[in-house]
């Protein structure tokens, strides 16, 4: 009897599902997909470059982090380093015990999209990533306004929202991962918004597992400015970051910009940029209040936009405007960027002393190597010290037997 009842139930349910699939709108399809994934979580990762990462994700999931709670405190083996006269130097003469990566070490605000948004609102949808419900909301939607209102109330000029632009369908790599983790750790944003497409790959899944406040904003790349076609995707991203900051305010980051300490001291300026070079302001890390007047002037400057000029409107123009409107922005003396792009060996081969930097730009398009969680533990370059500082809380070499 019991068996027949179950069989009957299955038949009725599958018929209903099939009929519904044919006639109902997309969000119901998404929901059915959600249920299917939920019941059948045997996802396979398509781009498992790093077996260790996968193992740690799986372990983390099955043990609920308990196993990881016994990690080693960073610097516990510092006595070893103290035998050296200039212990905390930038020469990597000694090694410390690096802790294991632990998901719960990385702060992330819990965001309840269902509470803030109506799921019936045009364009609001979700998908399942790494067994988490991941939300997509339209740019300039009621939903996004509510999320900001509910989670990002602030007394500072700059709201604590982190923004990334992701305009092409590409896999998240190790360096993007470092940038996202650094933002979570050192900004601890109320929302982490990825505008444009959704990244994919194992690193991305790891981020989705860690960040409970990461949301995809379905923003279309701007294709035109003052009647001119914006020819390159990089230039579209240059314009988009200004539009996003004008609309919502917050902290914009390039995907290879790594935050090294809290930006708290800068949150009361209406607009902050850093010099990249003496005649050039970087647009790789920008802090802005909503509607900052400097952005309006910057966007106006795009009247002379020309596809052939690679970095003019993104870096030279804001520098020129800063002379005209010095009261509208705060300028950092290269603390978001250095070493500059003519000093790449300092980044890729030597050990640069970044103790005064707020952030560092990794210039990934000039770097031909791809690192992993494992090989950065012994990497004797600035790239290595930055990666260890973000992942293992120490810039020193890891003592690995
Ligand atoms: C997982 O850990 C959290 C707190 O760290 C706890 O509240 C929760 O009950 C745990 N879940 C399981 C299934 O052990
Ligand atoms: C500290 O490092 C040394 C290697 O020089 C190692 O032999 C020792 O076991 C480490 N101590 C701890 C507590 O990990
Ligand atoms: C690194 O830079 C900081 C700040 O400029 C300085 O105080 C420190 O002495 C430097 N360390 C070394 C080993 O040069
Ligand atoms: C997926 O998440 C649910 C609860 O959110 C949990 O019960 C289930 O075990 C998870 N599945 C996997 C494979 O982690
Ligand atoms: C920041 O902007 C607000 C209005 O948007 C303005 O009232 C205030 O004076 C500005 N602060 C500075 C330091 O420019
Ligand atoms: C890069 O930085 C170095 C050291 O501060 C400086 O000498 C050089 O002029 C800078 N390059 C540019 C293009 O500004
Ligand atoms: C300005 O700075 C950027 C980095 O922010 C760099 O890529 C660009 O080449 C620089 N341009 C000039 C003319 O210095
Ligand atoms: C931005 O400024 C414009 C006019 O300069 C004003 O109409 C608008 O309400 C402002 N928006 C916000 C969010 O302050
Ligand atoms: C900027 O910092 C450099 C050191 O990195 C220093 O030599 C220079 O004087 C500073 N410039 C200003 C305007 O503070």
Per-residue pLDDT of the chain (401 residues; tens, 9 = 90+): 455 554 555 444 444 434 333 333 333 333 333 333 333 332 333 333 344 455 555 554 444 443 333 332 333 444 455 555 444 566 777 777 777 666 667 888 889 999 999 988 889 999 998 778 999 999 999 999 999 999 999 999 999 999 999 999 999 999 999 999 999 999 999 999 999 999 998 889 889 888 999 999 999 999 999 999 998 999 999 999 999 999 999 999 999 999 999 999 999 999 999 999 999 999 999 999 999 999 999 999 999 999 999 899 999 999 999 999 999 999 999 999 999 999 999 999 998 988 889 999 999 999 988 888 878 888 999 999 999 989 888 888 887 65
The CB of 353 under 6 Å from ligand 3? The reply is yes
177, 285: one domain = yes
CA of 245 to the centre of ligand 8 (A): 13
307, 191: one domain = yes
In a domain, 265, yes or no: yes
The CB of 77 under 6 Å from ligand 2? The reply is yes
In a domain, 105, yes or no: no
Domain end, chosen from 332, 352, 370, is at 332
CATH of the domain at 223: 3.90.550
Residue owning the nearest CA to atom 13 of ligand 4: 41
150, 238: one domain = yes
In a domain, 290, yes or no: yes
- E strand or H helix at 126: strand 125-129
Domain end, chosen from 308, 332, 356, is at 332
In this prediction, residue 42 carries a pLDDT of: 29
CA of 71 to the centre of ligand 2 (A): 15
In this prediction, residue 205 carries a pLDDT of: 86
Domain end, chosen from 296, 311, 332, is at 332
Point out which residues pair with 164 in neighbouring strands. Answer: 194
256, 362: one domain = no
78, 170: one domain = no
Total domain count, the chain = 3
195, 156: one domain = yes
In this prediction, residue 53 carries a pLDDT of: 53
CA of 270 to the centre of ligand 5 (A): 6
In a domain, 63, yes or no: no
In this prediction, residue 209 carries a pLDDT of: 83
Point out which residues pair with 166 in neighbouring strands. Answer: 196
In a domain, 53, yes or no: no
CA of residue 380 relative to chain centroid, distance:
25
Sheet with 271-277: list strands edge to edge.
Answer: 125-129, 132-138, 214-218, 191-196, 161-166, 250-253, 280-288, 271-277, 330-332
Rg for the chain, CA atoms, rounded: 23
In this prediction, residue 16 carries a pLDDT of: 42
Looking from the CA of residue 291, the nearest atom of ligand 5 is 5
Looking from the CA of residue 279, the nearest atom of ligand 6 is 14
Looking from the CA of residue 76, the nearest atom of ligand 2 is 13
In this prediction, residue 183 carries a pLDDT of: 97
Looking from the CA of residue 88, the nearest atom of ligand 3 is 13
Point out which residues pair with 251 in neighbouring strands. Answer: 162, 287
In a domain, 255, yes or no: yes
pTM of the model: 0.80
95, 242: one domain = no
Give the residue, out of 84, 88, 351, 353, with the most ligand 3 atoms within 8 A of its beta carbon, to mutate for a pocket test.
Answer: 353
Looking from the CA of residue 292, the nearest atom of ligand 5 is 5
CA of 166 to the centre of ligand 8 (A): 26
CA of residue 141 relative to chain centroid, distance:
21
Which of 389, 398, 230 has its CA nearest to residue 308?
Answer: 230
- Token pair in block for residue 300: 């106006």
Given a contact cutoff of 8 angstroms between Cβ atoms, the answer to whether 105 and 83 are in contact is no
Find the domain containing 266 and state its range: 113-332
Looking from the CA of residue 247, the nearest atom of ligand 8 is 13
Point out which residues pair with 364 in neighbouring strands. Answer: none
In a domain, 45, yes or no: no
382, 263: one domain = no
Q: First CA to last CA across the chain, in angstroms?
A: 62
In this prediction, residue 18 carries a pLDDT of: 40
Rounded Cα–Cα distance for residues 17 and 23 (Å): 10
267, 375: one domain = no
CA of 131 to the centre of ligand 4 (A): 6
Rounded Cα–Cα distance for residues 317 and 18 (Å): 57
In a domain, 356, yes or no: yes
Residue owning the nearest CA to atom 3 of ligand 3: 355
128, 202: one domain = yes
E strand residue ranges, 230-328: 250-253, 257-259, 271-277, 280-288
157, 206: one domain = yes
Strand 250-253 and strand 161-166: pairing? Answer: parallel
Residue owning the nearest CA to atom 2 of ligand 8: 291
141, 246: one domain = yes
């Amino acid at each position: 009897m019991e068996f027949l009842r179950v069989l009957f139930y299955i038949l009725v349910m599958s018929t209903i599902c099939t009929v519904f699939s044919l006639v109902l709108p997309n969000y119901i399809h998404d929901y059915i997909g959600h249920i299917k994934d939920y019941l059948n979580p045997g996802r396979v990762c398509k781009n498992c470059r790093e077996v260790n990462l996968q193992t740690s994700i799986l372990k983390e999931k099955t043990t609920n982090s308990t196993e990881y709670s016994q990690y080693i405190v960073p610097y516990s083996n510092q006595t070893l380093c103290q035998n050296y006269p200039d212990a905390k130097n930038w020469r990597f003469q000694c090694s410390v015990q690096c802790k294991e990566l632990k998901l719960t070490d990385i702060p992330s605000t819990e965001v309840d999209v269902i509470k803030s948004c109506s799921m019936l609102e045009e364009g609001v949808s979700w998908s399942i990533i790494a067994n988490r419900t991941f939300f997509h909301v339209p740019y300039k939607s009621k939903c996004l306004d509510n999320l900001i209102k509910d989670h990002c109330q602030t007394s500072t000029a700059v709201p604590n929202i982190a923004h990334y632009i992701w305009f092409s369908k590409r896999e998240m790599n190790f360096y993007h991962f470092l940038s996202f983790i650094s933002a979570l750790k050192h900004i601890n944003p109320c929302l982490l918004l990825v505008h444009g497409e959704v990244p994919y790959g194992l690193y991305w899944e790891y981020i989705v597992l860690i960040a409970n406040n990461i949301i995809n904003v379905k923003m279309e790349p701007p294709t035109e400015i003052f009647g001119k076609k914006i020819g390159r995707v990089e230039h579209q991203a240059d314009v988009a970051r200004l539009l996003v900051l004008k609309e919502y305010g917050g902290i914009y980051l390039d995907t290879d910009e790594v935050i090294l300490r809290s930006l708290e001291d800068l949150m009361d300026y209406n607009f902050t940029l850093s010099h990249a070079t003496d005649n050039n302001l970087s647009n790789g890390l920008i802090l802005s209040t909503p509607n900052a007047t400097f952005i309006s002037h910057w966007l106006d400057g795009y009247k002379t936009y020309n596809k052939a000029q690679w970095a003019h409107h993104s870096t030279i123009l804001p520098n020129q405007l800063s002379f005209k409107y010095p009261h509208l922005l705060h300028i950092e003396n290269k603390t978001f960027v250095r070493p500059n792009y003519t000093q790449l060996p300092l980044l890729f081969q030597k050990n640069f002393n970044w103790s005064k930097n707020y952030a560092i730009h990794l210039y990934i398009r000039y770097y031909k190597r791809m690192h992993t969680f494992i090989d950065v533990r012994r990497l004797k370059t600035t790239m290595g010290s930055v990666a260890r500082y973000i992942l293992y809380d120490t810039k020193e070499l890891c003592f690995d037997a």
